Structure 1
């Protein structure tokens, strides 16, 4: 009888512990994603799209609403999106080790070599690093080194020490602003400078990147850690003249992709510097971003636009943030924070890979429902090449973490 009672108590305790463990697992892994299936879908989408994209003088930019094939735009020194398609191909090669993707990536990358001398705008980082940087790192194309170093020198030439940032855009193309312009997107171009400083370029490139990040951190964010899009500085004194937007709803509204750029940028700056102030700031930006997300974690194109529930989503912002949060989670020692950001990223990817946002069976892209610049009447509820780029980057990061 005593033995029976002991066994009964043991079984009850074991069941209770099992239930607690199961509950803990639910909390720690609130959302799942079939990673292999998501990657397989990207492979199948590229196999559909690549045979159609044969003109090397153009690159895919968007798929309009209710269309199925990529709209290509001419390769041009002002087309900031040109590097994302070859970057996608490099990530696909990294995920599959299929040499056909490497050969396609090489072909699509090397048409942009002349862009290494761009000094008329800041987007040379976006244009060259996804293509040549990924080729160097993932494709072992060490001959790309000098092209990347020249590109970094071109970018660094736009740094204004009076202001402390790299100038964005050109005043001729954006006449609303007459002096030194800096946009939040510019944070991502800093990765090219950090890379160059580590790989034989001028060591001052790292100092320029850090100063840009510090100046942006000081001036570009509200008290609630949300971002403005465009700042105009006095070119001589460095004083902030205006805080505006180009692609958000209003000058003082919270443009969701801008916030995602900030999260990604400061996470990357922490990776490159190890300076904890950038890690802390990336967390603050992330917490602000997460507070504004709808249930599926894919933001509307602006958090402050009226009639929010009826407004378009921006899957590109979701993909950028997902990729950033996966990396951010790897830098944190606190278990709760690590799980919080990791689970948020997985939830974003789970939504992006779902039928609601996936383009499988509908169009040639990976994702649908991105919004480039609704305030300007551009790219509203479309597929965007950079949404696909950061989505496959996030899948690549998740696979590496799980492996």
Structure 2
């Protein structure tokens, strides 16, 4: 029995074949729809209308995908496109109407700064971080969402890194303090004792008192919306990366352990772990985020993180099968199928979503680098 091209005989993943497939999907997106930034697909075709749920927040993922391919191939065309798509969102560095500036600027200008640091790239990242820091509530020590002054999401743990980076680049310790305090508040109020996560926490904006838990995209307020849990794995790992605070590493690890325990051998989780009758059993964007976050955690833990790396590798192998990996030959424009944006609002359900595609490719890129390093050292 022959082994499919996208899989290797030991049950792992052929990262180069998977990255080639993803690269061709993105090439088609940016050549067929130049300058347009989608959020999710409809019947496999990219949807370009304004986001009906949240202020536009996905431009950084498309730019980030293009930066990864520019780095991977060294081709001038990809580099030109990467700069173009980053420039398209540059003005958002002053957008104080969203809590998603990290999503916008870390994959895009953050990668640009990592590859070719300059005063300009540093300034963009600093300005974006300072803008997000304006949403800080000192009474409750949290960053508010666009929903309300009293609202904070677990998602913001994926955005707080831009404030840490702005603090490091500018030397502004106030920014570092804000990022640290928000992370501690999220750790206390949005991560439960069993390491499951609350989607939204409501605070009294005047006193800072925590009032209640809520959800927009999960089963109910006391359940565990899985994408939120994966935001926590990756986000607390990032907070540890910038701060060196072991409390954040411990939280990332606890969330990762719960995710692996509850997802198990199926490798791809549902939208919410506590929904007793899920209409869809897979939320592939959460699996993509988890794979990237677990690889980050594995790198931070060294040999003690080998189990996380193994689980990420097996997750990517599953995502790289025909069940989940989109192909143009099948009329599918996204990369990862069977993802969900907003179940309750019926947006991008059982489709591709930009962040699912981005974190899948980011995880493959990380894994490819690990495998290259292992090959060179053997």
Give yes or no for TM over 0.5. yes
1:343 to 294, 300, 310: 310
- Give the root-mean-square deviation of aligned CA atoms: 2.0
Output the TM-score relative to the length of structure 2. Answer: 0.91
Within a 5 Å distance, the mapping from 1:177-256 to structure 2 comes to 179-256=149-226
Cα distance change of structure 1 residues 198 and 82 upon mapping to structure 2, 3 Å threshold: same
Cα distance change of structure 1 residues 102 and 141 upon mapping to structure 2, 3 Å threshold: farther
Q: Which runs of 4+ in 1 moved over 4 A?
A: 74-77, 139-142
Alpha-carbon distance in 1 for matches of 2:90, 2:305: 39
User: How many equivalent pairs are there?
Assistant: 361
Alpha-carbon distance in 1 for matches of 2:162, 2:258: 27
Alpha-carbon distance in 2 for matches of 1:245, 1:47: 36
Alpha-carbon distance in 2 for matches of 1:74, 1:241: 32
Cα distance change of structure 1 residues 236 and 288 upon mapping to structure 2, 3 Å threshold: same
Within a 5 Å distance, the mapping from 1:290-309 to structure 2 comes to 290-308=260-278
Cα distance change of structure 1 residues 357 and 75 upon mapping to structure 2, 3 Å threshold: closer
The aligned residue for residue 114 of structure 1 is: 91
Consecutive unaligned residues of structure 1, counting only runs of 5 or more, are 1-28, 172-178
| Residues 299 and 317, structure 1, Cα contact 8 Å, conserved in 2 | yes
| Residues 84 and 385, structure 1, Cα contact 8 Å, conserved in 2 | yes
Within a 5 Å distance, the mapping from 1:242-281 to structure 2 comes to 242-281=212-251
**Worse-matched range after superposition: 40-49 or 115-124:** 40-49
Consecutive unaligned residues of structure 2, counting only runs of 5 or more, are 1-8, 373-378
Within a 5 Å distance, the mapping from 1:133-172 to structure 2 comes to 133-140=110-117, 142-171=119-148
Query: SS of 1:350's equivalent?
Result: helix
1:61 to 39, 57, 82: 39
Alpha-carbon distance in 2 for matches of 1:254, 1:189: 20
1:52 to 21, 32, 35: 32
Alpha-carbon distance in 2 for matches of 1:398, 1:142: 30
Cα distance change of structure 1 residues 114 and 88 upon mapping to structure 2, 3 Å threshold: same
1:386 to 355, 359, 365: 355
Alpha-carbon distance in 2 for matches of 1:281, 1:143: 34
Query: SS of 2:139's equivalent?
Result: coil
Alpha-carbon distance in 2 for matches of 1:114, 1:43: 27
Query: SS of 1:116's equivalent?
Result: helix
Alpha-carbon distance in 1 for matches of 2:271, 2:334: 19
The aligned residue for residue 288 of structure 1 is: 258
Output the TM-score relative to the length of structure 1. Answer: 0.85
Task: Report the Cα offset of residue 217 of structure 1.
Answer: 0.5
The aligned residue for residue 11 of structure 1 is: none
Task: Report the Cα offset of residue 31 of structure 1.
Answer: 4.2
| Residues 40 and 341, structure 2, Cα contact 8 Å, conserved in 1 | no
